[in-house]
Amino acid sequence: MTALTGLIVGDVVAERTVHLTRESLVRYAGASGDFNAIHYRDDVAAAVGLPGVLAHGMLTMGLAVGTIESWLGDTGRILDYGVRFTKPVVVDPETGADVTVVAKVGAVDDESARIDLTVSFDGTTVLVKAQVRVRTV
């Protein structure tokens, strides 16, 4: 495994936009076993006061960290990952939803780096304190 060298705080190491559709949610529900109806039924989402069908939080969290996979070269480098969920990702039945992730170096020490993920939907940050600690050596 090659060391990740030359990391400078503030550098963007990866970024992407992921388009989610209702089909994406159904596929994730099948893979995860999370069949909560707020993730696929508008009537249920409305009945509990939600603005629409929501993407699964763990789906959003997973696609966020997946943004750095190519840059890392080996996901075994991930030492720790955590987020706080702040806003939902509402997936429109016709237009879907675009989730944008920007991964920046937040801190570096002798053996690891903290990568800060900015995760947004519709101009709003949906995950805060989204941080991945990775082994650099």
Instruction: Answer yes or no: pTM beyond 0.75.
Output: yes
Mean pLDDT of 6-28: 97
Return the pLDDT at 7: 96
The answer to whether residue 71 sits within a structural domain is yes
The answer to whether residue 82 sits within a structural domain is yes
Integer Cα distance of 65 and 35 in angstroms:
23
The answer to whether residue 64 sits within a structural domain is yes
Return the pLDDT at 3: 78
Integer Cα distance of 34 and 32 in angstroms:
5
Asked if residue 2 has pLDDT above 80, the reply is no
The 3-state DSSP class for residue 75 equals helix
pLDDT tens by residue, 58-89 = 999 999 999 999 999 999 999 999 999 999 99
Closest CA to 33 of 58, 61, 62: 58
Q: For the chain, what is the domain count?
A: 1
CATH number at residue 81: 3.10.129.10
The answer to whether residue 36 sits within a structural domain is no
> What is the domain range of residue 84?
12-20+55-135
